[in-house]
Amino acid sequence: METGGGFVPVETIATHAPEFTLYGDGTVIFRPTIDMADPAREGLPRFVRGQLNEEAVQALLRYALGGGRLLDAREHYGQDMCADCPSTTFTLNAAGLQKTVVVDALGMVDAVGQDAVDRRAFADLAETLAGFEQRARNGELGEATLYDPAHYLVFLFEGMGEPQHVLDWPWEDVKADDFSAEGDDWRVRTVLDRDHVAELADLPSGGAALIYVVDDDGSLWQLALRPLLPDELTAQGLD
């Protein structure tokens, strides 16, 4: 499950990642609402890794397909009441079924009309997945630990304004020109490893934005970090 979009800054979009992922071996990775290891920590809460047994995995899948109504869901549930609301995306690749269901403004508009039953079910499913934070606190996910990714996506934007805190460019072997262009107003370095990221920040495994740096030419840049999840590492041959 991932929630994103709406009227937000591009650096916020850059740090979006699925807030809940369940893998076939029972591994669960989710982003809590408050950092579980350090509630007073500033910035995005760090991802947490836990474990479900096979019975719990199958129970969650049955619920998502049945009571959560993903089995027969359409690809997109739009709405015309909130132009700037985010969308919630459920991606399923299990039980021989591969599908993606996008629900606009889930829980933000009244569930009425022909999609009301589906929307209420999707909202309940989203609440169930969000509830894994409490399940981890209750010890239901084994020894839950902070997710420590080996690689990150690092996004580069032109710096604007006069920020209070500016760091020197952190890398000798990575320059601004190494970031590949993507879109009209931002660039992305596909992957930097944990060691490179550690030179910039205290390994923000929940992601980070608004990190300002100045390079050797005196140009101001803004960096945003987004951890790669296990399936993304595998897709890029980095697992």
51 within domain boundaries: yes
The terminus-to-terminus CA distance of the chain in angstroms comes to 22
143 within domain boundaries: no
Q: Which of 137, 168, 202 is the last residue of a domain?
A: 137
Residue 99 has pLDDT above 80, yes or no: yes
Q: Which of 137, 171, 192 is the last residue of a domain?
A: 137
Residue 41 has pLDDT above 60, yes or no: yes
Regarding whether 158 and 118 lie in a shared domain, the answer is no
pLDDT-based confidence at residue 184 (cuts at 50, 70, 90): low
Mean of pLDDT values over 111-125: 89
Long-range contact pairs involving 31-37 (C-beta distance under 8 Å, separation at least 24)? 31/206, 32/133, 32/136, 33/130, 33/133, 35/206, 36/133, 36/136, 36/137, 36/144, 36/146, 37/146
Percent pLDDT > 90 in the chain is: 63
Percent pLDDT > 70 in the chain is: 93
Regarding whether 167 and 123 lie in a shared domain, the answer is no
Q: Which of 83, 115, 137 is the last residue of a domain?
A: 137
Q: Which amino acid is at 55?
A: E
- Give strand pairing partners of 104: 87
Number of domains in the chain: 2
87 within domain boundaries: yes
Regarding whether 29 and 79 lie in a shared domain, the answer is yes
142 within domain boundaries: no
Residue 77 has pLDDT above 80, yes or no: yes
Regarding whether 218 and 169 lie in a shared domain, the answer is yes
48 within domain boundaries: yes
pLDDT-based confidence at residue 83 (cuts at 50, 70, 90): confident
The predicted pLDDT at position 187 comes to: 65
**Better-scored residue on pLDDT, 27 or 188:** 27
Which CATH number goes with the domain that contains 91? Answer: 3.30.1560
Whether the CB-CB separation of 29 and 226 falls below 8 Å is answered with no
Domain range spanning residue 206?
Answer: 149-235
pLDDT-based confidence at residue 82 (cuts at 50, 70, 90): confident
Mean of pLDDT values over 104-131: 89
